[in-house]
Every structure is written in structure tokens, then in C-alpha cells.
Amino acid sequence: MKNRDEVRELFKAKKVPLTHQRLAVYEELSGRKDHPSAEALYESLKKDYPSLSLATVYKTLQTLHEMGMVARVDSPAAQARYDAIVETHHHAVCTACGRIEDLFDPRLDTLPAPKAEGFVPSGHSVHFHGLCARCAKASAQKTR
Amino acid sequence: MKNRDEVRELFKAKKVPLTHQRLAVYEELSGRKDHPSAEALYESLKKDYPSLSLATVYKTLQTLHEMGMVARVDSPAAQARYDAIVETHHHAVCTACGRIEDLFDPRLDTLPAPKAEGFVPSGHSVHFHGLCARCAKASAQKTR
DNA sequence: TACTAGTGGATAATAATTATCAACCAGGAG
DNA sequence: CTCCTGGTTGATAATTATTATCCACTAGTA
């Protein structure tokens, strides 16, 4: 939870203009314990900023995400992806091209139970993110 | 990877009519090593089944999912969710109401490296799924 | 072979997100 | 403090992914 001056510093360091809207979206998001959607944030912010546009919330979240100040909880991919393997297994997701590889590793199949009050777990999955072989190679080319 | 007769049995057991389209979608999906979207499956299947409709692919995937024969890889939620906490942490996702709780557990922060050829990992996150305290209670009420 | 519930195909509708663009503001120069 | 300029905002259109609708048709059974 960053205070207003820390936020200001981060924007300055990245040379990204800090607008009222951006500050408002960030403070609203970091003040909440749930994981709101863009729409939900918009609904909350509308009271204090009646002129705020939903499109601005989307754009701001995009900007904050690129700055590394917010994370997207679920799918990075726009469309749903399907898998005919329903047994427990895990995934390596390429952050560059979106490719998803299956991982089978029994060491990941049993993990410490989640420490969440009253939560009744039925399963879990581990998502590694990083660069797939192809994209890692392409990235190495570029920076060479 | 189930053969055609096993698939036939599963449909019979669940009393779900097995149509050519359903068989085709399932066989196409289980024959692939990537994790295709509905659209991608449709594109592949169009060659052999020119009359196939995209809507049918969606409905079939839905049906297969309810039968427990296919899994959805990423987001169970329709809309993207955001988080102001960018440090490594994990999530408990309620399959009933979609609520997402943050989990902080250092034991989950270091896991065996993914066994995927050439993959360069940059991080990971663990998703537990199950019922949150509220939904678990509601579910217990109902079955009492 | 005939019957009937449920499915498939075509397309409209909906939902989430992104693009467009003129008016406006943040932040630096003078 | 005022002006300037590029980036941002807000309103809305467009796009993308998915779901609903509805009638003809097929799977599974008698």
C-alpha cells in the first residue's frame, strides 16, 4: 500500500503524466481487499468523480499494469482456452505469445493447504509465467 | 486420451446424446497438444465439417465441460480482475460465487522449477479453487 | 419405421474491451 | 504566472468473445 507521494515518485520516474483520474483509480484499487473488475471500480469511483468515463478506467488499468503497479488476477488471454486433460496438472504460460504448455510434476500436486479462514479447497493449479523456448530465443536475438 | 468407444460409454452413462459434432469437437481437442480457443477449434474442424457452426462448438465445449471431459485453462470469470498487490502471492478462488481471496504463504513462493524444455520462468502463482467460507456454509445448509 | 426430446445451424443479442477523436489538462519553458 | 504542446479524457462507435433464439432435423428408443 503506497502513499500518495510514493505514487507520485513512481510516475515521475517512469515519465508518465499523473492525472487525477489515474491517482483516483489507483487509490480506489489499493484501498480494496477484493479484486474488482474495471466495471466495479468505475461504479465506486463515479460517486466522487461523476465525469469519469469507463473507458478511462480501462485505459488507466492498462497503464498501471504496464508500469508494474497493478496485476491482473486471472486470464491474461482474451479468449477462453480448453484442455482435454482433466487430471491434475499445471501450466507454463508464455507472457510473450500466450502459448500454454502442460506440466506434469507430482511434486506440485500436493501443496500446503490454503490458509484462508473457512475455505474448503477442492483442488489447485500452478501457473508458471515466463518465456517459452521460442520467445526466449527471439528475445535473446533482439538484445544481442 | 480416450478412444471412441470410451467416449461413447461416457455419453451413455450420463444420458447425453452423442452427436457427430460432439464427437468431432472432442476428438479434435484431445488430439491437440496446444490449448485451443473455441474459435481455433472451429477453424480446424471446418475443413472436415463444412456445415459446422461456431455456436455449436461453444455449446459443445460447455456440454463437455459440464460432463467433466474438458477443462477450461484460464479465467473462470468472464471479466478481468485487478489487484494492486504485485508482490508474489496466491489466490483462493470460490467456484460458486467467484470471490477471490489473497493468500500469503512463503511455502508456496518457492516451487520446483518447471520441467519445460527451454522455458525461462519469471514467476508463478498458485490458484486454489473450492468454496469460500460463505458458500461452503450455504452449501451445507442445502444438503442438511 | 415412427416418435419425441434434445441438438444443430444461422443469426441476433449481449457483454467486455478497445479504438477513435475533438476538447482539455499536466508539467515544463519562458 | 502564462503559454505551449503532447499526452489524456470523455463520449461513443467499433470490435471481439460469448450466449440466446428459434425452427428444422437427428439420435436414441419403442
pLDDT at position A76 is 60
| Of A27, A24, A20, residue with least CA distance to A3 | A27
Residue B39, C-alpha cell as written in the block: 474459435
Segment-wise mean pLDDT, segments of 10 residues, chain A, 144 residues = 89 96 96 92 96 97 94 75 90 86 93 93 92 88 64
Residue B117 has pLDDT above 80, yes or no: yes
Contacts of B88 (CB under 8 A, 6+ apart): B109, B123, B125
- pLDDT top residue among A88 and B143: A88
pLDDT tens string B9-47? 999 999 999 999 999 999 999 999 889 999 999 999 999
R_g of chain B computed on alpha carbons: 19
pLDDT in tens, B90-103: 999 888 888 889 99
- What are the start-end ranges of the E strands in A35-140? 71-72, 82-83, 90-94, 100-103, 120-131
User: Residue B74 and residue A77: Cβ atoms within 8 Å?
Assistant: yes
C-alpha cell at A13: 520516474
pLDDT of B39 reads 95
**Radius of gyration for chain A, computed over Cα atoms and rounded to the nearest angstrom:** 19
Return residue ranges of chain A for CATH 3.30.1490: 90-143
Beta bridge partners of A93: A100, A129
pLDDT for A2 equals: 83
Class of domain B4-66: mainly alpha
Binding residues for strand C (Cβ < 7 Å): A 11-12, 17-20, 37-39, 54-55, 58, 62, 78; B 16-17, 19, 21-22, 49, 51-56, 59-60, 63, 78-80
Nucleotides on chain C within 7 angstroms of protein Cβ: 6-12, 15-20, 25-28
Q: How far is CA A101 from CA A21, A88, B92, in A?
A: 39, 14, 23
pLDDT band at residue B143, thresholds of 50, 70 and 90? low
Burial of A10 (0-12, 13-18, 19+ CB in 10 A): middle
Question: What are the C-alpha distances in Å from A16 to residues A7, A30, A63, A80?
Answer: 11, 19, 9, 32
How far B135 CA sits from the closest chain A CA (Å)?
9
Write down the pLDDT at residue B2: 83
* pLDDT tens digits, B51-87: 999 999 999 999 999 999 999 886 656 678 889 898 8
Strands B90-94 and B100-103: antiparallel
Query: Which part of chain A has CATH 1.10.10.10?
Result: 4-66
- Residue B144 pLDDT: 57
CATH code assigned to B90-143: 3.30.1490
